[in-house]
Amino acid sequence: ETGVTQTPRHLVMGMTNKKSLKCEQHLGHNAMYWYKQSAKKPLELMFVYNFKEQTENNSVPSRFSPECPNSSHLFLHLHTLQPEDSALYLCASSVQASGANVLTFGAGSRLTVL
């Protein structure tokens, strides 16, 4: 257990469904991240929140919608996804989103879009 908890661990959804991924950290960190991990590709940074403010949106399609209600919780709302969105979605946190701060990752949510 790293201190970053992601739920659900596995999710299967159709292209017309609406679902959400949840991430929670109790490390006292102020920055939270969503990354997409696909096989044989670099991890893709999707969103960064620093002190609850979104500081990075890496040209992510609008069918992915992040929400950060406080520094401990991060959501990724999913709507009308495509099969190519199937991947492992990793949440991470750090003290701040800058410099040499180390990221602590959750175990990931494995998403399959049918």
Partner 1 sequence: AQSVAQPEDQVNVAEGNPLTVKCTYSVSGNPYLFWYVQYPNRGLQFLLKYITGDNLVKGSYGFEAEFNKSQTSFHLKKPSALVSDSALYFCAVRDGSNDYKLSFGAGTTVTVRA
CB of 13 or CB of 107, closer to partner 1? 107
Strands 87-94, 104-105: parallel, antiparallel or unpaired by DSSP?
antiparallel
Q: Binding residue for partner 1 (CB under 8 A) from 2, 7, 82, 112? A: 2
Pairing of strands 53-57, 4-7: unpaired
Count CA atoms closer than 13 A to 88's CA, side-chain side.
14
**Residue 106 near partner 1 by CB under 8 A:** yes
Asked if 66 and 34 touch (Cβ cutoff 8 Å), the reply is yes
Closest CA to 88 of 29, 34, 47: 34
Q: Which is nearer to partner 1, 69 or 99 (CB)?
A: 99
Of 7, 82, 98, 112, the residue at the interface with partner 1 (CB under 8 A) is 98
Question: Measured in whole angstroms, how far is the alpha carbon of residue 20 from the centre of its chain?
Answer: 10
Interface with partner 1 (CB under 8 A), residue from 11, 60, 95, 107: 107
- How many angstroms separate the CA atoms of 97 and 17, rounded? 32
- When the beta carbons of 69 and 100 are compared against partner 1, the nearer one is 100
Q: Is 27 in the site for partner 1 (CB under 8 A)?
A: no
Does 83 bind partner 1 (CB under 8 A)? Our answer is no
* Binding footprint of partner 1 on the chain (CB under 8 A): 2, 4, 6, 33, 35, 40-43, 45, 48, 50, 55-56, 58, 90, 92, 97-100, 102-108
